[in-house]
Structure 1
Amino acid sequence: MARLGGGRSDSGLLTLDEAAADAVSRVHPVAGMLELPLAEADGHVLAQALIAPRDLPPFANSAVDGYAVRFADLTTGAATRLPVLGRTMAGEAPAVLEQGAWRIFTGAPVPEGADTIVMQEDVVAENGAVALPAGIKRGANLRLAGEDVARRQEVLPVGRRLRPQDLGLLAALGLVEVTVRRRPRVALFSTGDELAEPGQTLGPGAIYDANRAMLRGMLLRAGAEVVDLGILRDEARGLEQRLREAATDCDLVLTSGGVSVGEADHVRDAVLACGTLDLWRVAIKPGKPIAIGSVTGTPFIGLPGNPVAVFVGFAFVAGPLLARLAGEAYRPPRAWPVRLGFAYARKPGRREFLRVSLEQGVDGAVVARRHPGEGAGSLASLAQSDGLVVLAEDVGQVDAGDSAPFLPYAELF
């Protein structure tokens, strides 16, 4: 089970970078490794660097259908006519070429002695011979052994979250298993007497629990194993007991709602009864209040109740912490500049995330259009947009036509 490091209390307004760095510094990667077959390894984090056990490709082979020749046999500045002495298909043993040309197909091993491949479209074949054009370059269309990956080369670093293309590379190297870290187990629940499970009949003043469904999806995409604890009611003693139980066999406890100082916000008191708690005020919009602490030594994160604040808080604070728990070499999401299709004025001081959709302008440039749903409770604004325009802390006003950094949702999850 992951354990929380030493904490600190900060009553000031933290920047987002400070909050994320503080959160990450409190945890260590989970213990435990697994040997998984490649078919089950997608999305897992490498526990050790992978070293190539062999060259890739393992032998020199042809990149095209054509004819293998010795460059020394070609006439400089003029066409060359050579007899065709044999042929090799993919999967056959390599031949030996001492003179002439050799018919060869894509992926077939190059005959010993040959050093150049001429594409079949560039030759004229007739009467058992081929006419080769002038200007052929030595080594053309030849894939050398180890050209892609050399034996003993590090091909994937420790901490890499495996992707389909990574698995393809490992399969090409002949590997059948890979050593990965255990996935972090995350206990997830929502709090609030007003919440109901989707599918239930709503009572007076009730709403369906959307945050848990969203957080579950984000956790799964981040490579976590989710322990869904459902909805917890605003009752102090019950909350404390459930928190203790969740912390027993999980690496992180994650909640949404109930961490402020309201009369019915009992999560704060329940956490303090069995652990530690810092309630940050982070200089972001939306999502200023974020709680981090521990429950009997297990890391705890309490996100706000508004869905957009939950989304932002998870993406930029909980996400990096979870990557650290997973042993992943974390890469911050990459933004690129887009042209704004709107004006926006605000008071500087917080990093703000605006939900936008992209479209192509009349001049072909990408333009960001702001979603009309501005509130932190607007789930539609998340579902109907392409990503977030980021306004730095010192930016007060932007105008249509200005450039601003854009973070696509695909960079976050």
Structure 2
Amino acid sequence: MTDICYPNKHNLLSVQQALLEIRKAIEVITDLEVIALPQALGRILADSVVSPIDIPPQRTAAMDGYAFAASDISAGHPPKMQLIGTAWAGQPFLAPQMPGQCVRIFTGAVVPSFADSVITQEQIEVDGNTVSLPLDWQPYKNIRAAGSDVKQHEELVSAPKKLTARDLSLLAAAGVDKISVKRKLRIGFFSTGDELVPLGEPLATGQIYDSNRYLLAGLLSDPNHMVSDLGIVVDDQFKLEQTFRHAAQQHDVIISTGGASVGDADFVKQTLEKCGQVSFWKLAIKPGKPLAFGKIGECWFFGLPGNPVAVLVTYEKFVKPGLERLAGAPATQALRLRVRCDSPLKKSHGRQEYQRGILCQSADGELVVRLAGQQDSHQLKVASQSNCFIVMDAASSGIDAGEMVTVEPFSAVL
């Protein structure tokens, strides 16, 4: 694919090629740390965990009811039993039992050794200490076997995995209080540009507030990241080189925004070439074509465009998968849906586009998407109002309203 915007005709990498290059280049970190279970939500499990016990550890009642031995009930007679005690969750009934006796039992309580059946409380009648069963009672019901959820030495959670609340609950049920996880990534990010002003300062003519650092801070919010905001670097190649070299010594990954294009004050690519190496630069994507990926020493580098919507797209499509790879997390894939589009979509042939859309569900359950607004890559309000990308292949030249399109909801991954 050829770059039609510049006379020297650089070749552009496709989105898929660039992503493959990133994943091939980056090797998973090997450093681990052992942490307590309450701190493990969202962390990446380094070593698979096996259960030290059966879950549940003993036979337990699945329902509130009465525990008894089915062989004690005579066939063909109105079944009656003598109530001799109660088994509570955490307080088992341990007294000996005679034939024809039963125990009141509650959900989760250990089933007495003599019992092989539990009948629910809704099915019986109680008169003093006499429990009457219905004629159609069924034996061997409502008992959870020891290890019916997990057997001792069975694998609980397989590494690598980003731990969910469900995983923590399972680990806790097995009595696991400490686990081995991948260490956190050290990530530094900064913005470049003489036009950028920090919040709290007045704007002069030609200046804008730096929004990209707030966007990146939010996107990088993850239990597996230790993030450093390195501020704003002016358009000065010497200062940019100093920042690169110093940050590379302290971080696993550096992310910059701005200065990645071909203007006279765009120094990111040439500075990266001087300090380290550039794996690729320009991509067949819109927004976000000028993206530099490379390495400074042992530190990976992503030079993103300056327009904030391009930062959003390139982070989601390239930086996030790169960070997942480095951290040892399983690769995620955005959920893609084919839905009807209520808006006509304009597009030039040649680059894969990620337009910002609003996905909603009609009264009859059909998913429908429409454009969130103008698609210029500086328009943050449209990005704020959108909830999905409308993905248009490089070969597409647009569609008419009513046609089917591919969307990627922001809040769903597989």
Please, what TM-score do these two structures have when normalized by structure 1?
0.90
Q: Which has the larger radius of gyration?
A: 2
Q: Which residue of 1 aligns with 2:144?
A: 143
Q: Which residue of 1 aligns with 2:354?
A: 353
Looking at structure 2, the residues matched to 33 and 77 of structure 1 have their Cα atoms a distance apart, in angstroms, of 66
1:257 maps to 2:252: no
Kindly tell me the number of residue pairs found equivalent between the two proteins. 404
Looking at structure 1, the residues matched to 143 and 404 of structure 2 have their Cα atoms a distance apart, in angstroms, of 46
Q: Which residue of 2 aligns with 1:37?
A: 36
1:362 maps to 2:363: yes
1:275 maps to 2:276: yes
For 1:230-250, what per-residue CA distance to the aligned partner results, in whole angstroms no more than 9, with x for missing partners? 100000111101110000021
Looking at structure 2, the residues matched to 377 and 335 of structure 1 have their Cα atoms a distance apart, in angstroms, of 25
Change (3 A) 1:101 1:224: same
Matched-pair contact (CA < 8 Å) for 2:248–2:299: yes
Higher RCO, Cα 8 Å, sep 6+: 1
Matched-pair contact (CA < 8 Å) for 1:77–1:135: no
For 1:79-112, what per-residue CA distance to the aligned partner results, in whole angstroms no more than 9, with x for missing partners? 6332223210010135465543321011111111
* Pairing 1:2-401 to 2, within 5 Å after superposition: 11-73=10-72, 80-95=79-94, 99-221=100-222, 223-401=224-402
- More off after superposition, 359-368 vs 253-262: 359-368
Looking at structure 2, the residues matched to 119 and 374 of structure 1 have their Cα atoms a distance apart, in angstroms, of 62
For 1:249-270, what per-residue CA distance to the aligned partner results, in whole angstroms no more than 9, with x for missing partners? 2111111110111100112222
Q: CA deviation at 1:383?
A: 1.7
- Secondary structure of the corresponding residue to residue 14 of structure 1: coil
Looking at structure 1, the residues matched to 350 and 54 of structure 2 have their Cα atoms a distance apart, in angstroms, of 54
Matched-pair contact (CA < 8 Å) for 2:359–2:409: no
Q: CA deviation at 1:289?
A: 2.2
Q: Which residue of 2 aligns with 1:6?
A: none
Amino acid at match of 2:92: A
Change (3 A) 1:40 1:74: same
Change (3 A) 1:149 1:206: same
Please, what TM-score do these two structures have when normalized by structure 2?
0.90
- Secondary structure of the corresponding residue to residue 149 of structure 1: coil
Change (3 A) 1:401 1:34: same
Matched-pair contact (CA < 8 Å) for 1:222–1:322: no
Q: CA deviation at 1:117?
A: 2.2
Q: CA deviation at 1:412?
A: 5.9
Amino acid at match of 1:234: D
Amino acid at match of 1:366: L
Looking at structure 2, the residues matched to 135 and 395 of structure 1 have their Cα atoms a distance apart, in angstroms, of 67
Matched-pair contact (CA < 8 Å) for 1:65–1:104: yes
Q: CA deviation at 1:73?
A: 4.7
Identity %: 35
- Secondary structure of the corresponding residue to residue 204 of structure 2: coil
Q: Which residue of 2 aligns with 1:4?
A: none
Q: CA deviation at 1:395?
A: 4.2
- More off after superposition, 188-197 vs 59-68: 59-68
Matched-pair contact (CA < 8 Å) for 1:275–1:297: no
Amino acid at match of 1:141: N
Change (3 A) 1:68 1:230: same
Amino acid at match of 1:38: L
Q: CA deviation at 1:209?
A: 1.0
Q: CA deviation at 1:356?
A: 2.0
For 1:339-390, what per-residue CA distance to the aligned partner results, in whole angstroms no more than 9, with x for missing partners? 3332324344433222222333132323223201321112112221222232
- Secondary structure of the corresponding residue to residue 235 of structure 2: coil
Looking at structure 1, the residues matched to 318 and 395 of structure 2 have their Cα atoms a distance apart, in angstroms, of 21
Change (3 A) 1:42 1:77: farther
Matched-pair contact (CA < 8 Å) for 2:356–2:387: yes
Q: CA deviation at 1:141?
A: 2.5
Looking at structure 2, the residues matched to 334 and 75 of structure 1 have their Cα atoms a distance apart, in angstroms, of 59
Change (3 A) 1:72 1:354: farther
**CA RMSD across the alignment:** 2.4
Q: CA deviation at 1:337?
A: 3.6
- Secondary structure of the corresponding residue to residue 221 of structure 2: helix
Change (3 A) 1:289 1:151: same
Looking at structure 2, the residues matched to 311 and 335 of structure 1 have their Cα atoms a distance apart, in angstroms, of 18
Looking at structure 2, the residues matched to 234 and 77 of structure 1 have their Cα atoms a distance apart, in angstroms, of 94
The gaps in structure 1 that reach 5 residues or longer are 1-9
